[in-house]
A and B are shown apart, each in its own frame.
Chain A
């Protein structure tokens, strides 16, 4: 039973447009959420995070929105660039201040078309 779900295995977007990657979770104890980006043959790299006390966090072109009541978060990339083409993993943890196992979703492969 997947606790973190990314129901779209892949997504294609035109360069310059908005990319929206969605993530749903089932565990109501999750309190901290992260997005990682992974290029082929490389390990995932941290992109952006959000704590449950917020509903939005922004970092440059990347914005993460959290709807805790719906157990849903999304990553917006505006504007999308070809270099954003990668697999994006949504991840969740029960706490932020102490280490706990991080649960990852299956990933969404984003292709940004020039």
Chain B
């Protein structure tokens, strides 16, 4: 069966520090992968998606970037975090029609 992992689960970072969040999927190959952000009490904002290695589509211009160095690995990065980057970061993958979310990383920028 397919499994999606994210780490770390929680993260507290100062403003201006770098960020790296990792997402990996097991049990499938060539999945579509997605990064979402959810501010406290808000909806799901799509940040990036990838249909294959090295293929990244950006949905929202901001100080975040994404990379897909391997088929089942998706990384979200920032060189300098802003206070507004705080939120719940969710990785997701698509299987046929369905889309499933990972457990998420809760990021607090102080």
- State yes or no: do A and B come from one complex: no
